[in-house]
């Protein structure tokens, strides 16, 4: 796995049932009229398959309707008024270049039966990447069925076990798992299709179009509304939260973030390419310490919260000041900081000094257990695997991704066809490589154009909070996540440009798990309880 690719459940992983559903006048999805293409040259047509099921959550059965289908969305500026027919012989330059771009976005919605739509929350869930489908959240976290994987080691090959998900969020909200354009069963086509959908702003616009289209199709405009994004899905959520409110007049009740990254200057993946910006190193240090403790590289029996508090204090004081001093750091301070880093990371002092007190994520993963030719995980540092190249500088792969990906992808491919009756003759793409096209430049609120700088969507979530001061946010993070370290998310949220009183709208939750918090059974239960409680407190009923 490329280190720069923030895979939602593989970086998000990566990115959610008490009974209820439609208002009396809302269209039933199994009786909805056949959809027609929106324009003469439309390549896609919305479609859906409807099935029924029951999930038991906390000992309580929840009956639901499952809808697997697609909605068609278009890039910003698309006109939904069809062009008039041309006279014979007339030439259309646009047609000569091919039809305009459009996307068919795949989703699976789980809608609990029995209650009016206005009283039933609806949550839109997505992983990130960018370039990841929502298979990870779907099969690992909150769908009605969950794949069983081993806690911190390689899950054996098929057959895999798919079980009732006692931690499904269907007890708290209807759930809509959404695949980004080009991923999963979602597809893109038309002129300039990659440019039209692959970028921070273009991607968010497509999701806005999907969400508003879903609200219209299923009569959910007056339902409490939530976003749940994982990994790059948190980046998307920040942009979406502001875009939905500012451009579509859709206020959200809450935004739930898992494994956050808003400012890419804070990423510990390759910070050496951005010299002078050292914040990533202190923000990753608590995760280094938690990981070293887990792998018995640190002495003592401190609890994780106690150790994290101690390391966070050092990271943001002595360590940050030492890095800021650069070449002017006195030799005795350099020795003292290196020794303290050794105490918190278990790495050799000589290695720390050779790295100029700056160890990035890949170097830590490769070096921590180097004495046994073992590579430490990235998405979840509790995982380990054989080192590919003992002479390499950085980790060459992610042991957690290698350990569980087959289980998630295999079970979903079976489940979606056998149970949801969707996907015959189609290939499901859990992840795609979008980095050849992805536009990381972003136009934040108030800026006249996209800014030529590292992506930073902190202004977007800040604008959303100021525009809707009732908006609530929950940030969830795993202690063992080295793709988007948990303290990075806390730092970003505490540096939003918002009035101090709005900081009270944000709550923080940590878990003894990794990037995919839900891959650890005990943490999944905690995540369910925290998110269900958050929705219960904030949906206004």
- pLDDT, tens digit, 9 for 90 and up, residues 481-535: 999 999 999 999 999 999 999 999 999 999 999 999 999 999 999 999 999 999 9
Domains within the chain, CATH numbers bracketed: 29-265+406-538 (3.40.50.1820), 278-400 (no CATH)
Lowest mean pLDDT among 271-275, 310-314, 336-340: 271-275
Residue 100 has pLDDT above 90, yes or no: no
> Does residue 34 register a pLDDT over 90?
no
Characterize the bridge pairing of strands 102-112 and 174-178.
antiparallel
Asked if 108 contacts 170 with a C-beta cutoff of 8 angstroms, the reply is no
Convert the pLDDT of each residue in 378-437 to its tens digit. 999 999 999 999 999 999 999 999 999 999 999 999 999 999 999 999 999 999 999 999
How far CA 408 is from CA of 134, 145, 256, 260, in Å, comes to 11, 11, 22, 22
pTM of the model: 0.90
How far apart are alpha carbons 507 and 256 in whole angstroms? Answer: 10
Given this model, what pLDDT does residue 505 score? 98
Torsion of CA 73, 79, 81, 82, to 10 degrees: -80
CA angle 146, 183, 177 (to 5 degrees): 40
Q: Would you give the distance in Å from CA 92 to the centre of its chain?
A: 41
pLDDT in tens, 193-246: 999 999 999 999 999 999 999 999 999 999 999 999 999 999 999 999 999 999
More confident residue, 211 or 24: 211
Say yes or no to pLDDT of 21 above 60.
Answer: no
Q: What is the pLDDT of residue 308?
A: 97
Work out the end-to-end distance of the chain between its first and last CA atoms, rounded to an integer number of angstroms.
Answer: 44
* pLDDT value for 8: 35
DSSP reduced 3-state for 387: coil
Q: What pairing do the DSSP bridges indicate for beta strands 162-164 and 102-112?
A: unpaired
Mean per-residue pLDDT, 335-361 = 98
Confidence of residue 118 (pLDDT cuts 50, 70, 90): confident
């Amino acid at each position: 796995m490329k280190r720069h690719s923030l895979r939602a459940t593989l970086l998000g992983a990566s990115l959610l049932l008490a009974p209820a559903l439609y208002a009396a006048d809302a269209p039933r999805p199994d009786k909805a009229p056949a959809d027609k293409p929106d324009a003469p040259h439309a390549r896609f047509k919305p479609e859906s398959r409807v099935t029924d099921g029951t999930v038991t959550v906390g000992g309580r059965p929840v009956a639901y309707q499952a809808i697997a289908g697609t909605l068609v969305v278009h890039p910003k500026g698309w006109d939904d008024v069809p062009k008039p027919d041309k006279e014979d012989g007339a030439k259309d330059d646009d047609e000569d270049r091919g039809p305009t771009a459009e996307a068919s976005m795949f989703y699976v919605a789980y809608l609990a039966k029995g209650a009016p739509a206005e009283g039933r929350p609806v949550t839109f869930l997505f992983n990130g990447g960018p370039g990841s489908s929502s298979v990870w959240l779907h099969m690992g976290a909150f769908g009605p069925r969950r794949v069983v994987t081993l806690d911190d080691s390689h899950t054996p090959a098929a057959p895999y076990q798919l079980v009732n998900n006692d931690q499904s969020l269907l007890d708290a909200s209807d759930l809509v798992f959404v695949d980004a354009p080009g991923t999963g069963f979602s597809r893109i086509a038309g002129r300039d299709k990659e440019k039209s959908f692959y970028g921070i702003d273009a991607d968010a616009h497509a999701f806005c179009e999907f969400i508003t289209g879903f609200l219209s199709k299923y009569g959910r405009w007056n339902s409490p509304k939530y976003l749940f994004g994982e990994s790059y899905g948190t980046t998307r959520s920040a942009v979406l939260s502001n875009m939905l409110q500012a451009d579509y007049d859709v206020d959200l009740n809450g935004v739930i973030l898992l494994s956050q990254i808003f400012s890419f200057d804070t990423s510990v993946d390759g910070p050496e390419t951005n010299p002078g910006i050292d914040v990533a190193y202190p923000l990753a240090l608590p995760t280094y310490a938690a990981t070293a403790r887990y792998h018995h590289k640190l002495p003592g029996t401190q609890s994780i919260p106690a150790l994290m508090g101690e390391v966070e204090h050092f990271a943001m004081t002595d360590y940050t000041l030492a890095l800021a001093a650069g070449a002017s750091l006195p030799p005795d301070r350099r020795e003292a900081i290196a020794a303290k880093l050794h105490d918190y990371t278990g790495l050799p002092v000589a290695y720390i000094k050779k790295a100029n007190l700056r160890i990035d994520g890949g170097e830590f993963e490769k070096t921590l257990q180097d004495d046994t030719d073992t590579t430490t995980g990235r998405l979840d540092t509790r995982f380990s695997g054989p080192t590919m190249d003992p002479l390499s500088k950085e980790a060459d792969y992610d042991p957690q991704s290698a350990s569980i990906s087959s289980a998630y992808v295999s079970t979903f491919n079976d489940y979606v066809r056998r149970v949801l009756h969707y996907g015959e003759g189609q290939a499901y793409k859990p992840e795609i490589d979008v980095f050849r096209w992805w536009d990381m430049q972003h136009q934040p609120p108030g800026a006249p154009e996209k800014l030529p700088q590292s992506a930073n969507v902190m202004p977007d979530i800040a604008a959303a909070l100021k525009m809707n001061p009732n908006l609530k946010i929950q940030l969830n993070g795993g202690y063992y996540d080295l793709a988007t370290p948990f303290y990075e998310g806390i730092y970003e949220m505490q540096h939003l440009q918002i009035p101090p009183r709005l900081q009270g709208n944000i709550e923080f939750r940590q878990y003894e798990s990794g990037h995919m918090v839900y891959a650890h059974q005990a943490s999944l239960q905690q995540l369910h309880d925290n998110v269900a409680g958050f929705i219960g407190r904030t949906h206004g009923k």
